[in-house]
A and B are shown apart, each in its own frame.
Chain A
Amino acid sequence: MSDRPMIEIESVSKWYESFRVLSDCTTAVGRGEVVVVCGPSGSGKSTLIKCVNGLEPYQEGRILVEGVEVGAKGTNLPELRAGIGMVFQHFELYPHLSVLENITLAQRQVLKRSKAEADERGRALLARVGLAEKERQMPADLSGGQQQRVAIARALALDPKAMLFDEPTSALDPEMIHEVLAVMSELAAEGMTMMVVTHEMGFARRVANRVVFMDEGRIVEDVETEAFFTAPESERGRDFLSKILNH
């Protein structure tokens, strides 16, 4: 395949009515790369990653996933989304389905796998995130950390080429953050392409190749991880780092 990045975001702008949430955002995520997106609350981080799989529309610019333009009229969004896993702050497990059914639903409906095949893949992934014995439980019976690991397994079940994470640990008690970050670090080590919105700066520093720092809908910095942590280019980046590292 080509050297072209997996995800290309080119001069993207987005408005809610007259409010400009994203202003001329440009960045890219290469194959196997891990990019952490951070920035103050309301800076547009969630909006940006939701544009990547077309959950949010944008009005200007282009986003390409493996060369396919997300916002183009003819793009088959369900198909595009099936190739990109997404993990949310509040897990969003289907409350009426068991843990295993949560992981098999899209495999069966979207990828048209047989029940046996989907179950097998689901069980393997549950084992991988350390929850093999939970397959029959309902999501509400699991802790937050366990639910989030199920959500990661659910996303991985479609064999995605990239994963998007929107503050996957922000809703978790401190003792559960680690178990989720451990799964994510492992994924990164295996070469998964990842775009991660997070305030876990320890994780960012250890795992990310690059850091994108956003403020007021703009990408203010887009630099190598070490560069961001040792010498942020912008005043706002410095400010943000000092606040988040010293709180």
Chain B
Amino acid sequence: MDVILPNLGFLLSGLATTAVLALISIVAGTVLGIVLGTLRYTSVPVLGQAAAIYIEFTRGIPLLVFLFLFYFALPALGGYKVSAYVAAAQGFSFFIGAYLAEDFRSGLRSVRPQLKQAARASGLTETQVFRHIVLPIALRRIIPTLFNQYVRLFKFTSVASVIGVSELTGRAMLVNAREFAPIAIIVTLALTYLVCCLALSSIGRALSHRFTVRT
């Protein structure tokens, strides 16, 4: 404890960075996942195939390499500068978006064709059927899967320390370099992630309970 307490403020602000980074990536990744998943579901020509290629591509690349892509390769290619923090947020969002897209697609596909037919029979257009029937049912059904992905992403953010983002893991390693108390510091670090992940999955469980779709 005597190594943690003096550094508490420093570590807590690292945790805040981690939380904000995770939150941004969750929101952006979810939006991307819905868009890509919908393109896949409706098999829009060209865009649907582009989405499929993007998803395959992303899922075949290690997360760290993907971050390098956004931190080094793309800025070099496009001739722009980017902070480690922004590159990490971009990398995580695009990374998790590819996984979420497949979850959204399977959620959308879980809606029975007969139900869509009934909605059409009442005069709803295809867009209205999607917006009022298919999408809300799919979203509700995939809440548990979604939160599993969010928990994964939360843990993934520790990788951002490699490109120099000063988030929780990065700061813990700095403290360790100064104090050299690996057991206390790394156990605290691990427990902090664990508690956050447990909190995140209990939110998921509560939401999934609240919005369960019984048939």
Q: Which residues of B contact A (CB under 8 A)?
A: 114-115, 117-125, 128, 132-133, 136-137, 140, 211, 213-215
Contacts and interface: CB of A to CB of B under 8 A. Distances in A.
Contact of A140 (B121, B140, B215): B215
Contacts of B136: 96
Contact of A110 (B114, B124, B140, B215): B124
Contacts of B124: 78, 105-106, 109-110
A159 to B, nearest CB: 12
Interface string A219-236: 000000000000000000
Contact of B137 (A82, A85, A95, A140): A95
Contacts of B115: 92, 94-95
A81 B213 contact: no
B118 to A, nearest CB: 3
Interface residues of A, number: 27
B138 to A, nearest CB: 10
Contacts of A141: 214
B123 A82 contact: yes
Nearest to A56: B117
A90 B122 contact: no
A155 B118 CA distance: 10
B80 to A, nearest CB: 44
A158 B123 contact: yes
Contacts of B128: 109-110
Given A95-B137, A95-B213, A81 B114 contact: no
Report the 4 A-B pairs with minimum CB-CB distance, sorted nearest first: A82-B123, A92-B118, A140-B214, A106-B122
A88 interface: yes
A154 interface: yes
A55 B133 CA distance: 17
Nearest to B214: A140
Given A109-B128, A109-B132, A95 B120 contact: no
Nearest to B125: A78
Contacts of B215: 95, 140
A19 B118 CA distance: 25
Given A86-B118, A109-B128, A140-B214, A94 B123 contact: no
B125 to A, nearest CB: 5
Nearest to B139: A96
Nearest to A77: B120
Contacts of B132: 105, 109
Given A86-B122, A155-B122, 7 more contacts: A81-B122, A88-B118, A94-B137, A95-B137, A105-B122, A106-B123, A158-B122
Contacts of A53: 121
26 contacts: A50-B117, A53-B121, A55-B120, A81-B122, A81-B123, A82-B122, A86-B122, A92-B117, A94-B133, A95-B115, A95-B137, A96-B136, A96-B140, A96-B211, A105-B122, A105-B124, A105-B132, A106-B122, A109-B132, A110-B122, A110-B123, A110-B124, A138-B214, A141-B214, A155-B122, A158-B122
